[in-house]
């Protein structure tokens, strides 16, 4: 039995990497975008397993738990509570949507991605949202 995905089909890691590309990097040393992107990949994997339609096996749940743990461990490397706050709101909002019987769309998580990007870029949320929207379109179309 195949299960339908209940998280965005576009990879959050790829979207975020695309969005941070081209940001000015002070002293060439800011790797937070890559770290946040990696954590988003793990978060999406864990979320996808935990909230897949149908009944998840015990092994699948363990895989999801491991992915969540990797997401937390990865984001903790940044030692920045604002990232954790946004990620927790992503989880809360996504879980709420699923509890209402829906699926998590990329548009539900776009404001959160923009907030994460804004922390890194220092831009206002609207500019960060525009960057995220462009990145979503590019990743969705295969980078064209």
pLDDT tens for 101-120 read 788 889 999 999 999 999 99
Which comes out higher in pLDDT, residue 38 or 72?
38
Q: How far is 44 from 26, CA to CA, in rounded Å?
A: 29
pLDDT the model gives residue 3? 47
Q: Name the band, by pLDDT with cuts 50, 70 and 90, for residue 137.
A: very high
Condensed to tens digits (0 to 9), the pLDDT of residues 6-64 reads 677 899 999 999 999 978 766 556 789 999 999 999 988 888 877 765 666 777 778 88
Are 77 and 35 contacting, i.e. CB atoms less than 8 angstroms apart? yes
């Amino acid at each position: 039995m195949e299960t339908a995905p209940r998280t965005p089909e576009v990879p959050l890691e790829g979207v975020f990497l695309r969005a941070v590309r081209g940001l000015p990097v002070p002293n060439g040393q800011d790797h937070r975008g890559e770290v946040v992107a990696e954590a988003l990949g793990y978060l999406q994997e864990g979320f996808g397993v935990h909230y897949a339609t149908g009944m998840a096996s015990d092994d699948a749940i363990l895989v999801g738990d491991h992915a969540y743990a990797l997401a937390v461990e990865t984001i903790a490397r940044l030692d920045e509570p604002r990232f954790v706050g946004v990620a927790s709101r992503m989880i809360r909002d996504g879980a709420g949507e699923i509890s209402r019987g829906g699926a998590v769309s990329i548009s539900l998580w776009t404001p959160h991605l923009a907030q994460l990007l804004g922390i890194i870029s220092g831009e206002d949320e609207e500019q960060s949202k525009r960057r995220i929207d462009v990145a979503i379109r590019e990743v969705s179309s295969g980078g064209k």
